Structure 1
Amino acid sequence: MNTPTEFARSGDADLAYKVIGQSGVRDILLAFPLVSNVDVFLELSENAEAVDRLAKLGRVILYDKRGAGMSDRAIGPVSVEQHSDDLVAVLDAAGSARAVLLGWFDGGAVSLVTAARHPDRIESVVASEVLAVGRPTDGFPWGFGPRYGEAMMRKLIAMGWGKASMARMTAPEWAGDARLIDWLTRYERLSAPPSGAARVFDDALELDIREYLDRVTAPVLVIHDLDFPGLPPEPFEWMADVLPHGLLKLVHRNTSVPFVIPSDELVDEIEEFLVGTRSGGRRELASIVFTDVVGSTTTLARDGDRHWRNQLSSNRESLRRSLARYGGREVNTAGDGFFACFPLPSSALRFAGEAVRDAAEIGLGLRAGMHCGEVLVDGADLIGIAVHVAARVAAHAGAGEVFLTDTVRILVDGSDLRFEPVGAHRLKGVPGTWRLFRLDGGSS
C-alpha cells in the first residue's frame, strides 16, 4: 500500500498521517492505542487488507499521535485534550469536515473526548476496549487484573520493548509465528523508544474521561472482546449505559491483539454499525498457484508482437485445460501471469508441474510458485497473506521450476511427489524467513 505520509501541524508539533481512498460517503479516522507507526502498520498484509475493507466504506485516515511513530516525540505528559486538538488538526489537514472515529484503548478515549468537544465534526465513534479511567478509582473500580496490570506493563516496557514481549504474553499463539513476531518487533522499535513508550503508557494511566461521556451526542459502538485477557465486561457495560447513544457489543473473537491486527470479525462489526451490512465474505483453506513467464520482455523483443501473442494465447489455453483436469479455479489473469486455486495441494502441484512442462514445449520459460493457507473469499477474488506468499515464492523460481513453501511439502507428505530444498529465503513484503523447496521435474 504505497500511500505517501503527510504531516499536519498542531500547536508546536508535526503529526504524521496517511489518507487512503477517495473522498466519498464518509471519512474514517483510526486512532491507535499507545504508540504506532503508520508506515510499518501497513507493511503487514493483514493490516493492509483490513484498511482496504474499511476504504470501501469511506476514505481512511491513519495518524501517529504526538509522542509516537513519525510524529514529534513528546518529552512530557500530554493531556487528553491536547491529543483531541491534535486529532482535529489531522482532520483539518486531510480536508475532513466530518468523520467516523475508530479508536482502541487510549485512542478510543481521545475519540470520545473529541466527539464531546466537537460534536459537529464527528459522525459516530467505535470505541474498542476503552476504559473511561486509566486506574481503578472511586466510582470506577475496574481495570486490568494483576497479571496484566500496571506493574507488569512497566516491566515489559522496561525490559522487553522492541522484542514483542507484550504480545508474547497476551497472545501466546504469536510466539510460534516468526513472521508476526518479526513484524511486531519492527513495529515497536519504529513506534517509540522504551522511554517514549513508557511516557505514553503513563499518559494512558492518567486518563479520566468520565466528565465528557454524557456530552457525546454521536452514536457510539462500544466493543469488548470477552476473550481479551485481564479485562471484565463491567466497565464496558457501564460506559454504554452512560453514553447518551451508546450501543454495547460483547464478542468472542479470540483475537488477543485486535488493535495491532484488526480481525475480519472486528471489521464486520464496524461495517454493520456504519452501514448495516457484513460483507466480510467467507474464509476457506486454499492451495494457491501463481505462474508467469520468465524473460517475457526479451522474448517479445526477439520474436515480435504477433509471435508473442500467439505463444501467450497457447499457454493460457494449456493452463486452462490443466486447470480443469486437476479441479482448480482461475482467479485472475494479468499480462503473462496466471493465478489459480485448488482444494487440494497435491492437485495444485500436479497442475504446476504440468504447466511448466507444457510451456517449455512451445518455447516459453514458465515458472510457478505455490503456498497453502487461509484466504478471504471476496466475490471471485481471494484475499490474504497466503496469496502474497505464493506470488513471492513464484518470483524466486527460475524458468521451468516450481517452488513451494515448507507448508505445502508437509501437507503432501506421503504422496509420490518429490522435492529438493532450495534454502531459506526472504519474501518481498512478507516478514520472516521462509524455507522453500523445488518440485522434482520427474514428479507427476
Structure 2
Amino acid sequence: MQQNWGDTAEFLSERAPSVWEDPAEQAFMSRLLVQSGSPGTAVNITRLNYELDIRPILSAVHVPALVLHSRGDRSVSLDEAEYISDTLPYGSLKILEREDHLPWVGDVDEVADEIAKFVGAPESAEFGDRILATIVMTDIEGSTKAAEQMGDTRRRELIDAHDTTAARIIARHGGNLVKTLGDGVLATFSGPSRAVCCARELQSEMSKLGLTLRAGVHTGECELRGQDVSGIAVNMAARILDVTPGGSCRVSSIVRELTAGSGLEFEQVGTHRFKGIQGEWVLYAIA
C-alpha cells in the first residue's frame, strides 16, 4: 500500500507540484488512501472504474445535469467532458479555470460555488414529476391456465399469498411497491443491484408457493402520476418481461452496466427490437 501511495504521489506531483510537495497534503492523501478501505475494496473499486460504462444511459437522463471540468486537468480530457455534456439531453458544461482533477485540491471554493448555484437553482416544472428509478415487473407463468384448474377460491388465496409475500420482500430490499397487477407486481428501486436481488428472491419465495415467476428489470426515467409511474422506462420493463421465459429474470444492458462491481454476474441472452422503443436492445440474464 505504501508503494502504491509512492507511485500516486509521484504521478500527482508531476501535475501540481506546488500542492503535492506540501507535507500536509501528502499526509492527508496517505491517510485517505490507506484508511478509505481494505485492499479488497480497492481492487473492487478499480475494477468498477474499468468496467463501468455510463455512455448507454446518458441519453436517458432527462433532468438538468451539470458537468464540471478543470481547464488544466491532465487526467481527464476536455473532449470527454464535452461528450458527456452534449449527450445528456439537459446537460450543461462549466469549465473551471483550475488545474486540479480532484475537487478538494486547489481552489475548492470555485467548485463548491458552482455546485451550490446549480443545486439551489429553482426547479423547472418540466422536471418536477420525473425520477430516475429501476423498475421491476413480474408475472406468474401460466396463471390463466392454473386459475381454470384450481377454481376461483383457491386462486384468490394464492394471489393473496403472492401479494403479501411480494410486499414484504420488496420492502426488505428498500423498494416501493407501486401496484399489484393481478398476477404480478410493479415496483421501483433507487438502485439496480437491489432491484435485481429482489427479483431473484421473489422468484425463489414464490416457488415455495408453487408459482413460477418471471421478471423484467430496467433502469430509466419515470413520470410520477400520483402513486403510479409511467413512461418509456416502464414500457421497456414490460417489453423485457414479455420476452422472458418462466423462472427467469432478464435485465437491460443499462442495468448490467450500472451494477458493474456489485458482484452480480450476467450472461447475454439475446438482442431485441421493441415496439414503440427506439434502437436495438441487448438483454442479459443472471449467470
Q: TM-score, normalised by structure 1?
A: 0.36
Q: Is 1:320 matched with 2:167?
A: yes
SS state at 2:238 partner: helix
Q: CA deviation at 1:280?
A: 6.6
Structure 2 spans left out of the alignment, 5+ residues: 1-85, 93-122
Determine the structure 1 residue equivalent to 2:131.
284
Is 2:236 the partner of 1:389?
Answer: yes
Q: Quick one: distance in 1 between partners of 2:208 and 2:264? A: 22
Corresponding position of 1:231 = none
SS in 2 for 1:400: coil
Unaligned ranges ≥5, structure 1: 1-171, 178-226, 228-264, 269-277
SS at 1:430's partner residue? coil
CA deviation vs aligned residue, 1:42-88 (integer Å, no higher than 9, x gap): xxxxxxxxxxxxxxxxxxxxxxxxxxxxxxxxxxxxxxxxxxxxxxx
- Describe how 1:237-252 pairs up with structure 2 within 5 A: none
Indicate the residue corresponding to 1:345 in structure 2.
192
Contact 1:281 1:378 in 2 (8 A): no
Q: Higher mean Cα deviation, 303-312 or 291-300? A: 303-312
Report if the CA contact (8 A) 2:163-2:180 is conserved: no
Whether 2:242 is the aligned partner of 1:380: answer no
Give the stretch that moved more between structures: 279-288 or 333-342.
279-288
1:34-433 to 2 correspondence within 5 Å? Answer: 173=87, 281-433=128-280
Structure 2 match to 1:3? none
Q: How many residues align?
A: 170
SS at match of 2:260: coil
Query: TM (normalized to structure 2)?
Result: 0.55
Post-superposition offset of 1:428: 3.1
Deviation, 1:282, is 2.5
Q: Residue 188 of structure 2: SS of its match in structure 1?
A: strand
Alignment match, 1:70:
none
Q: CA deviation at 1:427?
A: 2.0
Cα separation, 2, equivalents of 1:410 and 1:279: 28
% identical aligned pairs: 40
Task: Provide the secondary structure at the position in 2 that maps to 1:307.
Answer: helix
Write the letter of the residue equivalent to 2:173.
Y
Q: Which residue of 2 aligns with 1:437?
A: 284
Counterpart residue type for residue 190 of structure 2 = P
Contact 1:389 1:430 in 2 (8 A): yes
Q: Which runs of 4+ in 1 moved over 6 A?
A: none
CA RMSD in angstroms comes to: 2.3
Contact 2:216–2:240, Cα closer than 8 Å, also in 1:
yes
Give 1:279 shift: 8.3
- Partners of 2:201 and 2:263 in 1: CA distance: 15
SS of the residue 1:287 aligns to: strand
Specify whether residues 280 and 406 from structure 1 end up closer, same or farther in structure 2 by C-alpha distance, changes over 3 A only.
Answer: closer
d(CA) in 2 for partners of 1:361, 1:380: 30
Q: Which has the higher helix share?
A: 2
Distance 2:276 2:131 in 1: 23
Distance (whole Å) between structure 1 residues aligned to residue 215 and residue 157 of structure 2 = 21
User: Would you say the 8 A contact 1:375–1:385 is kept in 2?
Assistant: yes
Q: Which has the higher contact order (CA 8 A, sep 6+)?
A: 2
Aligned mates of 2:158, 2:276 — CA distance in 1 = 31
CA distance in 2, matches of 1:383, 1:405: 18
